[in-house]
Amino acid sequence: MKPATHRWDTWRRAVIRRLLLGAWAMATLILVFCVALLAYEMVRQGKDPLAALKKAQRAVPAPIQVSDPASIKGITLFFADPSGRQLLPELGRIPFSGSTIENCHKALEALIRGPRDILTPIVPPSTKVRGLYMLEDGELVVDLSLDLEVELKKLKSASLEALFVYGVTNTLTQPALSGNADGNHPAEVPVKRVRFLIEGSAPREAFPAHLELSAPVEADPRWAA
């Protein structure tokens, strides 16, 4: 004969099991009732309860966009030489469009990414492009983030500041970035000069410490080898 405590434990486990099964059955009934009530309400409003499912079944994954090789164009990017005294050209390749602004934006992003080989970057990698604006006379306004000012202040180098200014200007004023004419649009005005802004304002006197940037800057080939 089994002890009374063993029989008590067996009975208690059986009761707990029945209570859990009952709770699960009640929750299932409530869920089914809610779904049925929602379906009824959608039908009453003239909606198809299975519309979302049908839409999901019809969905087709979007095709992967691959850049047209014909739209890739070679441009000149200017970086500093290993000694940091002059600019040297490097061949870069960007997806080319009919918009001068877009082409300049891609070229500026390439400068921020830096050179491929032994050349020295001229734009701190933390710099962000806040916006580019083209004026009718060919002046390109380049609005950069405050990260640029912070990083260049750490360098405290007149030559590196000049290489940044003229490396960006010489890159963005090259004719290869000008939007081409097509059957519906005339050729866009090429970039003739670059005006630098930091966070939407003209650079303060503290940056750059050795250059005057209150006026737009024109390309200067004397900085390039």
Amino acid letter for position 203:
P
Greater confidence (183 vs 137) lies with: 137
User: What pLDDT is stored for residue 31 in this prediction?
Assistant: 75
Percent of the chain at pLDDT above 70?
A: 70
5-9, 49-53, 103-107, 118-122: segment of lowest average pLDDT:
49-53
User: What pLDDT is stored for residue 84 in this prediction?
Assistant: 86
Contact call for residues 190 and 181 (beta carbons, < 8 A)? no
Question: Could you give phi then psi for residue 41, rounded to 5 degrees?
Answer: -65, -40
Span 160-177, average pLDDT: 94
Q: What is residue 79's three-state secondary structure? A: strand
Contact call for residues 111 and 77 (beta carbons, < 8 A)? yes
What is d(CA 225, CA 220) in angstroms, rounded to the nearest whole number?
11
Q: Are strands 139-144 and 193-198 parallel, antiparallel or unpaired?
A: parallel
Query: Around 180, how many Cα atoms within 13 Å sit in the side-chain half-sphere?
Result: 7
Q: Is the pLDDT of residue 60 over 50?
A: no
Confidence of residue 120 (pLDDT cuts 50, 70, 90): very high
pTM of the model: 0.66
Helix locations, 45-157, DSSP H = 51-58, 100-113, 146-155
Amino acid letter for position 190:
P
Q: Is the pLDDT of residue 218 over 60?
A: yes
Span 200-214, average pLDDT: 72
Residue 133 belongs to what H/E stretch?
strand 129-134
User: Closest Cα to residue 142, out of 205, 209, 201, 210?
Assistant: 201
> Mean pLDDT score of the chain, rounded to an integer?
79
Which pair of structure tokens corresponds to residue 75?
């441009």
Contact call for residues 178 and 123 (beta carbons, < 8 A)? no
Which pair of structure tokens corresponds to residue 76?
């000149």
pLDDT tens-digit map of 129-153: 999 999 989 999 999 999 988 888 8
What is d(CA 188, CA 11) in angstroms, rounded to the nearest whole number?
89
Confidence of residue 155 (pLDDT cuts 50, 70, 90): confident
Domain ranges of the chain: 7-55, 69-223
User: What pLDDT is stored for residue 194 in this prediction?
Assistant: 97
Q: What is residue 185's three-state secondary structure? A: coil
Confidence of residue 58 (pLDDT cuts 50, 70, 90): very low
